[in-house]
Chain A
Amino acid sequence: MAVEIKTETIEYHGRSTMLVSVKNGEAAIGICSAGYNGLGGANAINKIFFIGNDPIVNIVCPARGNNQSDKMLAVAPGFVGYDQKINAVINGCFDKLNGGEALTTGMRDIFNMLQDGVYAVYLSDYYPTDGNSSFFWGAYNILHDVHGTAEHGRVVGQRTFKPCFLIPSQPLDYYAPKTKVNTDDLVKRRKIQGIVYHLSGFHSVVLKGHHGAVCCVDNEVPFTCAVIEKICEPYTKKFVPPQPAAAPVPDIDPDNPEAAPSEEAAAAPPPVSVPIAVPEGITGFRCASLKLPLDVFPKDMLRMLIEERAEYKPRQFDILIAKLNTVRKKALSNNVLPFSVLEKTDTLPDCDMVESAYAIDGLSDEQLDHLLAGDVECNGEIIISPNFYSSIVTACNYLQFTDMKRFVDFSIAILDNPELSATHEYVAHRALSQISNKKLGAFFAGVVSSRDAKYEKIMTVAQTFMERSKNR
């Protein structure tokens, strides 16, 4: 049966979103369950991200696939690269996009290769890291817990967020310095630097643009990607019943406060809470970056969302499983990424910062002052979290992502306060990445020279900071 692709642009909350539905797709790119194979313990659910006949990423979802738990990820052990035909198709789409074609038409050939379902397609900037300050290419050789891969991390919760970290679909052996040199100039002219497929949480797999990502970091160009994100998760808006109107306060005679209230006030009816119908069922469907109510979806797309499976095994599943157990004997080459790229990766935001940025709407100076004074509340409202240390950590990450000047001031204020010593080590480590900042430099120089007992916990970090800034 021929592949049926439908694209529709919808307007919701003043934001236009492009939806793509795929029916009878080739299922050459996607995620499927790999069953129980002992990885990650008895309660883990194992999945694979595949391209064509090649398993690319092993995904281990601990705790029965709990969507608040981070996943364990690794590039499939036997992986040496995927089908050249699929690679050519993806390259073709990439060229079309940079040739000025719209996302709908330019990526049509990729849509044909997806699993059946409804996808959101948009442009977004990515940080070419694994979310933990390592460059993404080569960061997934060993199966490990990757922070930020939970569908609904504990910091962000049920809010929507733009995925922004990467997972490679090629082994690091594919890195060629020659290609990097050629791509260096291209990235400055390109509108779109890569094509990615959203995998889980803040992480997406790069289908195209590995060398582009290296060059973008090196040349400090934003890594703008065309993102494909599957919409399949139902969500329900929490219904908060409105408070019934407060009863009118009876007039009290100031001379005789214990006297009974006036007859008029006593006769006033008690506040009546009007029963409000709570909507039945789910509110809509969502992916990481979007929440769309049922009535916003085009009818045929909604029907498809309901009648399709969230993920399913492709025809080539047996081949994938057979390949999953193969182990590559040796590396294709011993390529190493340029040092300048690795160094610049350190300065890119990490997952903690991005999570905090999505978790908080804003932090006023007054709120920061309350936090520094040891309060978690400001004007009767909880600022971030009832947990003080969690609030400090989140505030720090938020400021580091949004406003470097305020971050530096806030960090120094915390580090200078011996009563907040429990947070000193964490905050100092966060500040360590800002080697070029003069104010922090002066502060850490003061710490090293003073040898004050209140700086005991951050002394090592301060010394490291000074050493690194000397070596720059």
Chain B
Amino acid sequence: MLLSDIVIIIKCGLQTCLRRVITFRITEERVLTLAFCDMKPVSVTDAQGSTTYIIGNVIAIYRAETASPLVYSWDMVKSVAISRRDFKIVAGNNTIVIPYRLFGSDETVLKAITIIECHQKEYDFTYQHEKRMLPLKSMYVECAPGRETYIGEGVFDEGETAAAFIALLNFKLIKFLWLIAILIMLVTLGVIQLNWGITRDKVLYYIPISIAIGGIVSLLVYIIAHAVARARFKSKCNADLASRQPITFVISRVGFAVCESCVYESRDLIPWGEIDYFVESDKMFILYKNNSVVAYIPKKAFNKKHVGGVADILALSAEQR
């Protein structure tokens, strides 16, 4: 090979590397326009009627004993933790705990969570939350969805979503189960050989016995894995109030939305750049980022004749696996 050829190869390699770096930078530039900016502040009062909490453009606490409210702007908020029972907001030198029961309805809690997540995007405070079925509101941007937009609505069918979840698990487990079956079979054969010795007249019994034991163990692993997956899925459902709420599903060329109908505003979308790939099962589209599920989109939420269009947009906007 000539020296000039080597130089050309090195140059091409460098150019490719540079192109990769540049592409990476472009994709890293996130669109930061705020979404859900029209949400009305949420106001809750405790059972005694002595303290009122308002979460909106600011966080305010009205106490009966003080004339002036205590008001925090979002830049004073250090952290927010949302558990299954309450909100814990650390602002200034104060920790504000607002139990869910004060909110009266799940819709109000979801509105408050939406306001908090949108401000988290802007002010970047520490945010801890329970397991989620739906994407975080901080992923959304406000933009026009465009003409080719499919909108659907529905409540998550737990059985259906769990089935899709398990179908995906099967897909991942299947190679692993074969490996377990073969290994167990070999181990069983080894144990038989050590204890009783494999002779020519008994080999026809021992091999089927080993295969059967390998199969049974794999089946047990499969059943246990399913039980664990289902339990995990159920706990995820129970942890997220949204799993019991009507959900709006929007698929457009610009982005998608999977959001509680009670908080959704028509122009809030997650850009396609926020997901890595999607998987299609017979009943759902499941969207992934960093190998974890971002959103479940059931096909039945859309009009039957629109499912093809939805699939087309997904296929054009993200990688299918």
Compute how far the CA of A64 lies from the CA of B30 in the bound complex, rounded to whole angstroms: 11
Contact B69 A302 (CB under 8 A): yes
Q: Residues of A contacting B33 with CB < 8 Å? A: 35-36, 44-46
| Residue ID in chain A nearest B122 by CB atoms | A64
At the interface, yes or no: A37 with Cβ under 8 Å from chain B? yes
Q: Residues of A contacting B93 with CB < 8 Å? A: 280
Convert B67-87 into 0s and 1s, putting 1 for each residue whose CB lies closer than 8 angstroms to a CB of A: 111111100100000000000
| Pairs across A and B, CB under 8 Å, 25 listed | A33-B38, A35-B33, A35-B141, A35-B143, A36-B31, A42-B29, A43-B29, A44-B33, A45-B34, A64-B122, A234-B73, A280-B72, A280-B94, A281-B71, A282-B58, A294-B69, A294-B71, A295-B68, A302-B68, A306-B56, A306-B57, A306-B58, A306-B60, A306-B71, A308-B56
- CB contacts under 8 Å to B, within A27-65, are 33, 35-37, 42-46, 64
- CB contacts under 8 Å to A, within B82-110, are 91-94
Convert B196-221 into 0s and 1s, putting 1 for each residue whose CB lies closer than 8 angstroms to a CB of A: 00000000000000000000000000
Binds B, one of A91-99, A122-130, A309-317, A403-411: A309-317
Contact A43 B32 (CB under 8 A): yes
| Residue ID in chain A nearest B40 by CB atoms | A309
Tally A residues with Cβ within 8 Å of B: 28
Contact B54 A306 (CB under 8 A): yes
18 further A-B pairs in the complex, CB-CB below 8 A; given A306-B57, A310-B57: A33-B38, A35-B141, A35-B142, A36-B141, A42-B30, A43-B31, A43-B32, A44-B33, A234-B71, A280-B94, A281-B72, A282-B71, A282-B76, A295-B68, A306-B69, A306-B71, A307-B43, A309-B57
3 interchain residue pairs of minimum CB distance: A35-B142, A36-B33, A234-B73
Tally B residues with Cβ within 8 Å of A: 35
Compute how far the CA of A454 lies from the CA of B56 in the bound complex, rounded to whole angstroms: 60
**B267 in complex: contacting residue of A35, A64, A282, CB < 8 Å:** A35
Q: Residues of B contacting A46 with CB < 8 Å? A: 33
Compute how far the CA of A244 lies from the CA of B302 in the bound complex, rounded to whole angstroms: 69
Compute how far the CA of A114 lies from the CA of B72 in the bound complex, rounded to whole angstroms: 26
Compute how far the CA of A158 lies from the CA of B87 in the bound complex, rounded to whole angstroms: 33
Contact B267 A234 (CB under 8 A): no
Compute how far the CA of A312 lies from the CA of B267 in the bound complex, rounded to whole angstroms: 13
Known contacts being A33-B142, A306-B71, is A281 close to B38, with CB within 8 Å?
no
At the interface, yes or no: B144 with Cβ under 8 Å from chain A? yes
Which residues in B have some Cβ–Cβ distance to A below 8 Å?
Answer: 29-34, 37-41, 43, 54, 56-58, 60, 67-73, 76, 91-94, 122, 141-144, 267
Contact A37 B143 (CB under 8 A): yes
At the interface, yes or no: A372 with Cβ under 8 Å from chain B? no
Q: Residues of A contacting B68 with CB < 8 Å? A: 294-295, 302
Distance in angstroms from B76 CB to nearest chain A CB is 7
| Residue ID in chain B nearest A295 by CB atoms | B68
Q: Residues of B contacting A313 with CB < 8 Å? A: 38
Which residues in A have some Cβ–Cβ distance to B below 8 Å?
Answer: 33, 35-37, 42-46, 64, 232, 234, 236, 280-282, 294-295, 302, 306-313, 321
Distance in angstroms from B30 CB to nearest chain A CB is 7
Contact B38 A312 (CB under 8 A): yes
Compute how far the CA of A280 lies from the CA of B73 in the bound complex, rounded to whole angstroms: 11
Contact B38 A307 (CB under 8 A): no
Compute how far the CA of A280 lies from the CA of B66 in the bound complex, rounded to whole angstroms: 13
| Residue ID in chain B nearest A278 by CB atoms | B93
Known contacts being A64-B32, A281-B70, A307-B43, is A36 close to B58, with CB within 8 Å?
no
Compute how far the CA of A247 lies from the CA of B54 in the bound complex, rounded to whole angstroms: 47
**A307 in complex: contacting residue of B29, B41, B73, B76, CB < 8 Å:** B41
Known contacts being A35-B143, A46-B33, A282-B72, is A309 close to B41, with CB within 8 Å?
yes
Q: Residues of B contacting A309 with CB < 8 Å? A: 37-41, 56-57
Q: Residues of A contacting B143 with CB < 8 Å? A: 35-37
